[in-house]
Chains A and B, each alone.
Chain A
Amino acid sequence: MLYRALLPMIEVRDVSRWYRRGVDVVHALDHVSLHIPAGRFVALMGPSGSGKSTLLHLLAGLDRPDSGEVIVAGEPLSQLDDDALADWRASHVGLVFQFFNLLPVLNAMENVELPLLLGGLPRGERRRRAEAALGAVGLLHRRQHRPNELSGGEQQRVAIARAIVTDPDLLVADEPTGDLDAKSATAVLALLRELNRAFDKTIVMVTHDPRAEAFVDRVIRLDKGVLVDSGEAA
């Protein structure tokens, strides 16, 4: 346990990323370095345009840096091409977004099963795992319902179930409570905390929500693409 805790799950080495928006060139990340050990629940915070979402995308293998290196669970992501990244994501990362998480034509159960379709598991096995994941978020009884029949908080919890169904190394959440009311937001944060504690899941969460600080182990702050606080306290 101790050994695992000391092993860096995520290593970001001198990473820079820029992109074009209309006629401007935006430097989203400017020579950022940090590392996050396994099993931590980390919040990425900062004002709008600070680069926190960009950093999150890099950690999740959705994007590649323009310079520097991102290594997750020992895998140097910048060496992988698009298809290899897609495959890597399917088995190593769980994703939760602020909205549009769930496919409206599928019910909760089917949405949770989606990532398992990529793994080529037999139907029975898929169903078992999906049910386990839904159970872990406390929504097994709502598994036949479609997203338009679920509340905002319930939808996010189903998204979280989908994120953990493949038993990924890393769970990545981009503003998961951004669209929720206070009560649901707290419930979601608590759930993430629970998953982190009970299953030792490494979670990196981008958030604006000040409430989140109470639930996480560490807060990393960015501003204008630069790391201002790596949050490494004790």
Chain B
Amino acid sequence: MTWTGFVVRNLLRHPLRTALTTLSVALSIFLVCAVLTLPAALNALFERTASSTRISVHHEAGLSYWLPLSYVQRVKAIPGVAAVNQFTWFGGIYDEPRNMFPNFAVDPETVAEVWPDYRIDPGALERFRRIRNGALVGEETFRRFGWRLGQEVTLRGTIFPVNLTLQIVGVIPASGNPVMLWFHRTYLEEAMEPYGGLRLVGMLWLRADRPEAVDGILRQVDAMFRNAEAQVTAETEQAFFASFLSSFRELVRLVLAVGVLVVGAVVLIAANTAAMGVRERIPEIAILKSLGFRRRPILVALLAESTLIGLVGGILGAGGAYGILTALALAGKTGAGGFLGPLSGFRMSPQVALQGVAISVIVGFVAGAIPARNGARLNVVEALRRLF
């Protein structure tokens, strides 16, 4: 009989109680993992935009304000700028408004230079440059609609009074951007000729030739357009996304608060069980102490019980959450789509599962700490007196 064997046997003494406690821990950790996935998804988004050399330039007043097309040429002249591209939000709808994905008109020539970290296949880039109505699509969108390379898709315009028919020529890997669709700026301009043409652009993307040049470029852009017709804000890609997502953070905080409540409930339940267990075992603890066992081994044994429940419950809960969320993601059901925008697709990462297990072990430890300490500190003679 080993040390762990002893601990396990004590837990199995009341199988129903141990099972109930373990299950409630498991359920709560399941919830905690689901809740933790949200900020983890947000963080993952930030990590994706880790490019320290990409700069966004947009109208100071907001993304719905246009910039003159001439700005594109002007920023190319700034020293330190390796390449320039642009986004113009088209806002087209493929099938249903509910399934809308971001689609932009871009400059096909400098895609590789401005977004080298997206690792788009060179063959796809070449086709994109060559084919006038070609389109590059993010991996998830591509798979979601079951598109094939070479397929033609039509986007119905909402802001622009035109519909565009595009040919899918390549995929943007999910590590770059899983949802966007990019097509030629010139294709849109041509379609807009009957309506007066298009000489405006949504926003610019610059790539600095090295990280140290970024500050200088930001200042120069600022100075260049300070008194111009359209004032701009130039900021790094990280800053741009950070402000874009800032309003999500409050919601996330509320959800996290709920998670804390859940953990609190678990600690109470587990502490209850631990206290019950210790109380019932006062006679045994008295015997062990009378035989000569000291406080520490008794403390460790009692603590090990509650921590073990925490561990097993945590593995069950985190494992369950991982399994279910991954299955759901594969089935394509967890795109909460337009509501969460860039966060569509709750995929739980192994890190979150580990966090869940860690929390649960700590919970088990904390819940059992005080009952274990009280048990170990038991005064033998008083206990014996009360018992006999």
Give me the interface of A with B, judged by CB distance under 8 Å. 19, 53, 57, 60, 62-63, 83, 86-91, 95, 97-101, 103-106, 110, 114-115, 118, 174-175
- Confirm or deny: B160 has a beta carbon within 8 angstroms of a beta carbon on chain A: no
Q: A118 to chain B: which residues have CB within 8 Å?
A: 291-293
Do B384 and A105 touch across chains, with their CB atoms under 8 A apart? no
How far does the Cβ of A50 sit from chain B's closest Cβ, in whole Å? 14
Do A97 and B287 touch across chains, with their CB atoms under 8 A apart? yes
Contact size range, B: 20 to 34
Stretch at the interface among B5-13, B93-101, B218-226, B329-337: B5-13
Give me the interface of B with A, judged by CB distance under 8 Å. 1, 6, 9-10, 12-13, 283-284, 286-294, 380-381, 384-385, 387-388
Given A91-B292, A103-B287, A106-B6, 4 further pairs, Cβ under 8 A: A90-B292, A98-B388, A99-B283, A114-B288
Distance in angstroms between the alpha carbons of A63 and B384 in the assembled complex: 11
Distance in angstroms between the alpha carbons of A88 and B290 in the assembled complex: 11
Known interface pairs A97-B384, A100-B287, A103-B284; A115-B292 also in contact (CB < 8 Å): yes
Q: A98 to chain B: which residues have CB within 8 Å?
A: 388
Q: B294 to chain A: which residues have CB within 8 Å?
A: 83, 86
Do A110 and B1 touch across chains, with their CB atoms under 8 A apart? yes
Q: A104 to chain B: which residues have CB within 8 Å?
A: 13, 284
Distance in angstroms between the alpha carbons of A89 and B12 in the assembled complex: 30
Q: B293 to chain A: which residues have CB within 8 Å?
A: 86, 118
Distance in angstroms between the alpha carbons of A63 and B382 in the assembled complex: 10
Q: B291 to chain A: which residues have CB within 8 Å?
A: 89-90, 95, 114-115, 118
Distance in angstroms between the alpha carbons of A115 and B288 in the assembled complex: 9
Among residues of B, the one whose C-beta sits closest to the C-beta of A21 is B385
Do B1 and A106 touch across chains, with their CB atoms under 8 A apart? yes
Known interface pairs A105-B6, A105-B9; A97-B388 also in contact (CB < 8 Å): yes
B interface: dominant SS: helix
How far does the Cβ of A87 sit from chain B's closest Cβ, in whole Å? 6
Do B292 and A175 touch across chains, with their CB atoms under 8 A apart? no
Distance in angstroms between the alpha carbons of A48 and B1 in the assembled complex: 40
How far does the Cβ of B88 sit from chain A's closest Cβ, in whole Å? 73
Q: B287 to chain A: which residues have CB within 8 Å?
A: 95, 97, 100-101, 103
Distance in angstroms between the alpha carbons of A199 and B343 in the assembled complex: 79
Q: Interface centre among A60, A103, A114, by most B CB within 10 Å?
A: A103
How far does the Cβ of A122 sit from chain B's closest Cβ, in whole Å? 15
Do B290 and A89 touch across chains, with their CB atoms under 8 A apart? yes
Do B381 and A62 touch across chains, with their CB atoms under 8 A apart? yes
Do A87 and B292 touch across chains, with their CB atoms under 8 A apart? yes
Q: B6 to chain A: which residues have CB within 8 Å?
A: 105-106
Among residues of B, the one whose C-beta sits closest to the C-beta of A28 is B385
Distance in angstroms between the alpha carbons of A89 and B287 in the assembled complex: 12
Do A62 and B380 touch across chains, with their CB atoms under 8 A apart? yes
Do B292 and A105 touch across chains, with their CB atoms under 8 A apart? no
Q: Interface centre among A86, A88, A104, by most B CB within 10 Å?
A: A86
Do B13 and A105 touch across chains, with their CB atoms under 8 A apart? yes
How far does the Cβ of A155 sit from chain B's closest Cβ, in whole Å? 12
Distance in angstroms between the alpha carbons of A86 and B10 in the assembled complex: 24
How far does the Cβ of A206 sit from chain B's closest Cβ, in whole Å? 10
How far does the Cβ of A172 sit from chain B's closest Cβ, in whole Å? 10
Q: Interface centre among A83, A90, A104, A105, by most B CB within 10 Å?
A: A105
- What would be 28 A-B contacts, judged by CB atoms less than 8 Å apart? A53-B385, A53-B388, A57-B384, A60-B290, A62-B380, A62-B384, A86-B292, A87-B292, A88-B292, A89-B290, A89-B292, A90-B291, A90-B292, A95-B287, A95-B290, A97-B290, A100-B284, A103-B284, A105-B6, A105-B9, A106-B9, A114-B288, A115-B291, A118-B291, A118-B292, A118-B293, A174-B384, A175-B388
How far does the Cβ of A59 sit from chain B's closest Cβ, in whole Å? 13
Do A62 and B290 touch across chains, with their CB atoms under 8 A apart? yes
How far does the Cβ of A125 sit from chain B's closest Cβ, in whole Å? 16
Q: A62 to chain B: which residues have CB within 8 Å?
A: 290, 380-381, 384
Q: A101 to chain B: which residues have CB within 8 Å?
A: 287
Q: A175 to chain B: which residues have CB within 8 Å?
A: 388
Distance in angstroms between the alpha carbons of A105 and B290 in the assembled complex: 18
How far does the Cβ of B1 sit from chain A's closest Cβ, in whole Å? 5
Distance in angstroms between the alpha carbons of A99 and B293 in the assembled complex: 19
How far does the Cβ of A147 sit from chain B's closest Cβ, in whole Å? 11
Distance in angstroms between the alpha carbons of A120 and B287 in the assembled complex: 19
Known interface pairs A62-B381, A86-B294; A100-B10 also in contact (CB < 8 Å): no
How far does the Cβ of A169 sit from chain B's closest Cβ, in whole Å? 14
How far does the Cβ of B250 sit from chain A's closest Cβ, in whole Å? 51
Among residues of A, the one whose C-beta sits closest to the C-beta of B10 is A105
Q: B284 to chain A: which residues have CB within 8 Å?
A: 100, 103-104
Distance in angstroms between the alpha carbons of A101 and B292 in the assembled complex: 14
Distance in angstroms between the alpha carbons of A180 and B292 in the assembled complex: 26
How far does the Cβ of A54 sit from chain B's closest Cβ, in whole Å? 8
Do B292 and A100 touch across chains, with their CB atoms under 8 A apart? no
Q: B1 to chain A: which residues have CB within 8 Å?
A: 106, 110
Do A100 and B13 touch across chains, with their CB atoms under 8 A apart? no
Q: A106 to chain B: which residues have CB within 8 Å?
A: 1, 6, 9
